[in-house]
Amino acid sequence: MTADEVASITRAFEDDYAAAFNRRDAEALAALFDENATIVTEFGDIVQGRAAFASGLARAFERMTGDIALENTPSHFEAITGDVIVSHGISRRRGAYFPAEDRLTFTRVLVRRDGRWRLAANHVSEPSSRPDPRAH
């Protein structure tokens, strides 16, 4: 796979992810995940499997009020094999439900199964609240 192909796959995946989130479509978002995906949420919870993720996501979407806008920006991506891509990036969420600046970082492992790219592992974290030592 060329670097351009990896970039295109990664960006298309992130666009699909954000679009499903912004519609609050738990089923469509969960469909992007591998059946046995492992998700580490921004709160440190570990969710195992697409079905568990879909169920939790549906409950979370019910609590969200107002407009929501998610934007995922991949910053680095690399094909590990022809069927595995690791990507890193930033998620920004805006809307009445979220604070003015809601910025998360992510690491994702995409796998190709039956010709479709799915998320096999996902880790989301918030930026550290510690001061950046490079700033001193």
Residue 101 has pLDDT above 80, yes or no: no
Spatial separation of the C-alpha atoms in residues 124 and 120, rounded to whole Å: 13
Q: Is the pLDDT of residue 134 over 70?
A: no
pLDDT for res 93 = 84
pLDDT of 100 higher than 90: no
**Tokens standing for 118?**
């799915």
The whole-angstrom separation of Cα 95 and Cα 124 is: 19
Structural domain boundaries of the chain?
3-128
Q: Which CATH class is domain 3-128?
A: alpha beta
Q: List pLDDT tens digits, range 29-70.
A: 999 999 999 999 888 889 999 999 999 889 988 888 777 889
The predicted structure's pLDDT at residue 129:
64
